[in-house]
């Protein structure tokens, strides 16, 4: 009986590992990066400091047209990976508002100087409050805002050409 009790913790550990392996390897368990929960609700109103100084960037300034909000940070490796997609969107005439999330202004400026600036304007969210109001889980995240101020699409993670074509552009073009 003592031997059975002695091996009980090991048996429990083996069972937990087996359950974990099954949960991680079963089909359909991937995290859905396109988030439908945010789509349809109004984007929060905002008045954010601009990276280059000057007047605050406000939601009223952007009202009446479809645009993209991209939450990024200089310390975010996936943000570097998605940067060419943002540059390509800019070349296609897409208006993008960059929001430096919990980042130092100097670091954000260096990041954009090094990689190029795809943004119409860069706003600062030093304490992450705007990101929380928008509903982000981390950076990078991208939101398509319609002319009515509603979130048309939200994407968690770095943009890829496929995501741009299948999610971002259709949401921008939707009537």
Rounded average pLDDT over 141-150:
97
Rounded average pLDDT over 84-104:
98
Residue 128 lies in a domain: yes
Task: Using the predicted structure, report yes or no on whether residue 84 has a pLDDT greater than 90.
Answer: yes
Task: Residue 59: give its domain's CATH number.
Answer: 3.40.30.10
Residue 19 lies in a domain: no
Burial 57-94 (b: 16+ CB within 10 A, else e): bebeebeeebbbbbbbbbebeebeebbebbeebbeeeb
Rounded average pLDDT over 21-33:
46
Rounded average pLDDT over 39-68:
96
Residue 100, domain extent = 32-173
Retrieve residue 143's tokens. 């939101």
Residue 21 lies in a domain: no
Which pLDDT does position 16 carry in this prediction?
A: 64
Task: Using the predicted structure, report yes or no on whether residue 31 has a pLDDT greater than 50.
Answer: no
Average pLDDT, the chain: 88
Which pLDDT does position 32 carry in this prediction?
A: 40
Residue 71 lies in a domain: yes
Which pLDDT does position 17 carry in this prediction?
A: 63
Give percent of the chain with pLDDT exceeding 70. 82
Q: At what angle do helices 77-91 and 105-115 cross, to 10 degrees?
A: 60
Which pLDDT does position 167 carry in this prediction?
A: 96
Give the list of residues 6+ apart from residue 2 with CB closer than 8 angstroms, or none.
Answer: none
Rounded average pLDDT over 106-123:
98
* Range of lowest pLDDT (1-15, 58-72, 75-89, 121-135): 1-15
Q: Into how many domains does the chain fold?
A: 1
Using DSSP's 3-state secondary structure scheme, residue 158 falls into coil
Interatomic CA distance for residues 158 and 77, integer angstroms: 9
Rounded average pLDDT over 129-150:
96
Rounded average pLDDT over 53-63:
96
Task: Using the predicted structure, report yes or no on whether residue 13 has a pLDDT greater than 80.
Answer: no
Which pLDDT does position 7 carry in this prediction?
A: 72
Task: Using the predicted structure, report yes or no on whether residue 36 has a pLDDT greater than 70.
Answer: no
């Amino acid at each position: 009986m003592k031997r059975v009790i002695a091996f009980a913790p090991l048996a429990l550990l083996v069972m937990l590992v087996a359950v974990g392996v099954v949960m991680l390897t079963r089909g359909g368990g991937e995290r859905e990066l396109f988030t439908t929960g945010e789509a349809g609700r109004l984007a929060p109103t905002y008045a954010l400091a601009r990276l280059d100084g000057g007047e605050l960037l406000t939601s009223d300034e952007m009202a009446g047209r479809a645009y993209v909000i991209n939450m990024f940070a200089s310390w975010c490796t996936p943000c570097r990976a998605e940067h060419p997609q943002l540059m390509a969107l800019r070349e296609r005439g897409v208006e993008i508002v960059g929001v430096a999330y919990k980042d130092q202004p100097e670091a954000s400026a260096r990041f954009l100087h090094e990689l190029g600036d795809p943004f119409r304007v860069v706003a600062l969210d030093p304490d992450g409050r705007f990101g929380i109001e928008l509903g982000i889980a981390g950076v990078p995240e991208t939101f398509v805002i319609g002319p009515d101020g509603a979130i048309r699409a939200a994407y968690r993670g770095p943009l890829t050409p496929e995501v741009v074509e299948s999610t971002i552009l259709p949401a921008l073009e939707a009537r």
